[in-house]
Amino acid sequence: MQVILIGLAGALGAVARYMLGHFMTHLLGSNFPYGTLIINVSGSFFIGLVFALTTHHLLSPGLQLILATGFLGGYTTFSTMSWESVQLARGNARLSVLYLGATTLFGLLAVAAGIASGWWL
C-alpha cells in the first residue's frame, strides 16, 4: 500500500511541477528557467521541513516517505535543471552559471530554512 501511495504522491508532485512551471513561463517568459528554479528551491525548503517534522515526531516515517520520496521526488527536477543549464550555456554561459549557482545556493538556504521552520514548530 505504501508503494502505491508514494506513486500517487509522485504523480501529484509531477502535475504540480508542470502546472507551476507552465504558470511561471506564462508570467515571466521563457528566457530564463524561473519555473524550475522556484520549483527546486521550494522543494528544497519543503524537504527540509518534512525531515525536521519527522525528527520531532510530528510526521510519521511513512508519511515522510510519501511526501519526500513521492510528492517532492515528482515535484523537484534535477534532470530538467541540468538540461536547462546546458541550453543556457549554448547561448549565454554566464547566465547558465548564474542559474546553477542560484539553484544551488538558494536550494541549500531553503533546506536550512525548512529545517529551522520544522524545529521552530
Report d(CA 43, CA 72) in Å as an integer: 6
Q: 41 Cβ partners below 8 Å, 6+ apart?
A: 103, 106, 107, 110
Q: Is residue 73 a known part of a binding site? A: yes
DSSP H helical ranges for 1-121:
2-28, 34-55, 61-64, 73-75, 78-91, 93-120
The DSSP letter of residue 60 is -
Report d(CA 84, CA 9) in Å as an integer: 25
Residues annotated in a binding site for Na(+): 73, 76
Binding residues: 73, 76
